């Protein structure tokens, strides 16, 4: 039976124990989907799964501000990152908020009728470009931690989904049909519209340190979740040798948000530096990862845990580049 997983074989969620089982329980309660493949694919690395879920929950679900607005940010990010899986997911979730007409306009590739919605969607798109002017915000400033956290969440999740999942949100691409999108959204409506108490996902994290939280998070749980995911994701650097780490990180430092050319010029050859190539693809164009790229890197000692960590490392380097530009802008505004 086909699965949504491209290069890994996650254990059945029903066999989960410990932190993984706790994450699945929170997903079922607060996300409305007990076993979303975007999180199941991370389950072989609980140290990544827990903070990834915590960041999504504390920003998109429990963070301040309109759920419709944050879904528009997530959709804008997903469009900018060319992640059809996540574009479809957020279209369904807009149905769940009750904004059916908005969801279907966006599904048809049309702009929102509301200028406010259009500005929020455009803001989400623009976050892909490090250094792009993001202020003035198209939402109340006091909601910025949740909106910024939502954008960063999906810059990470998009890359995981594009690298490690197929494009179809539902079997056989059923999400292409309006009636299916609407019905799927309606089944999630009660959960999506129910208020969630902030901070509950922090119990899943190992020793969250408030001193590591970024200033833009304003002391909210979003900051602790972000810091935990940063720490876990960047630990994947250990899968590369020093030269490959330096190459990947140097390229990311100069990245301007552009998608790579079709030729992938400037990327390491998969025969010579397969790990560096895979990490860079995860960061800049995860939808371009091929079977050959994964096979060139993978050795008998490389488990699913290793692959997920290498992809997460590359993905988070891009997130970190974007977040650094957020932080720099906010610091300048404060001067």
Tokens standing for residue 145: 């931690």
- Apex CA 16: angle with CA 290 and CA 206, to 5°? 85
Which CA distances in Å does 132 have to 128, 129, 325?
8, 6, 8
The alpha carbon of residue 78 and the mean position of all alpha carbons in its chain are separated, in whole angstroms, by 9
Q: How far is the C-alpha of 145 from the C-alpha of 217, rounded, in Å?
A: 5
Tokens standing for residue 17: 């124990």
Q: How far is the C-alpha of 201 from the C-alpha of 107, rounded, in Å?
A: 31
| Best CA proximity match to 146, nearest among 208, 199, 91 | 199
Query: Taking a C-beta distance cutoff of 8 angstroms, is the pair 81, 162 a contact?
Result: yes
Active site residues per annotation: 86
Tracing tokens 């940063």 back to the chain, one arrives at: 230
Tokens standing for residue 244: 């490959």
């Amino acid at each position: 039976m086909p699965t949504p997983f491209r290069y890994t074989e996650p254990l059945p969620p029903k066999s989960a124990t410990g932190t993984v089982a706790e994450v699945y329980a929170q997903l079922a309660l607060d996300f409305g989907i007990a076993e979303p493949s975007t999180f199941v694919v991370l389950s072989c690395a609980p140290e990544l799964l827990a903070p990834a879920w915590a960041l999504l929950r504390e920003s998109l679900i429990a963070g301040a501000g309109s759920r419709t607005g944050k879904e528009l940010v997530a959709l804008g990010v997903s469009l900018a990152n060319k992640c059809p899986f996540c574009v479809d997911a957020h279209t369904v979730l807009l149905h769940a908020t009750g904004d059916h007409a908005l969801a279907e306009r966006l599904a048809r590739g049309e702009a929102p009728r509301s200028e406010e919605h259009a500005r929020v969607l455009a803001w989400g798109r623009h976050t892909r470009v490090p250094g792009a002017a993001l202020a003035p915000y198209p939402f109340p400033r006091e909601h910025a931690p949740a909106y910024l956290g939502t954008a960063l969440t999906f810059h990470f999740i998009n890359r995981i989904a594009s690298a490690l999942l197929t494009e179809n949100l539902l079997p056989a691409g059923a999400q292409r049909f309006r009636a299916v999108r609407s019905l799927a959204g309606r089944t999630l409506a009660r959960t999506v519209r129910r208020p969630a108490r902030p901070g509950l996902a922090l119990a899943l994290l190992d020793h969250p340190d408030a001193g590591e939280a970024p200033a833009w998070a304003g002391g909210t749980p979003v900051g602790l979740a972000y810091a935990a995911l940063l720490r876990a994701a960047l630990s994947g650097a250990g899968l590369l040798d020093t030269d490959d780490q330096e190459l990947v990180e140097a390229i990311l430092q100069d990245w301007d948000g552009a998608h790579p050319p079709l030729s992938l010029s400037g990327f390491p050859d998969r025969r010579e530096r397969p790990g560096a190539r895979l990490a860079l693809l995860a960061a800049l164009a995860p939808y371009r990862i091929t079977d050959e790229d994964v096979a060139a890197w993978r050795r008998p000692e490389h488990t699913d845990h290793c692959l997920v960590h290498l992809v997460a490392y590359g993905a988070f380097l891009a997130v970190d580049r974007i977040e650094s530009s957020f932080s720099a802008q906010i610091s300048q505004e404060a001067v």
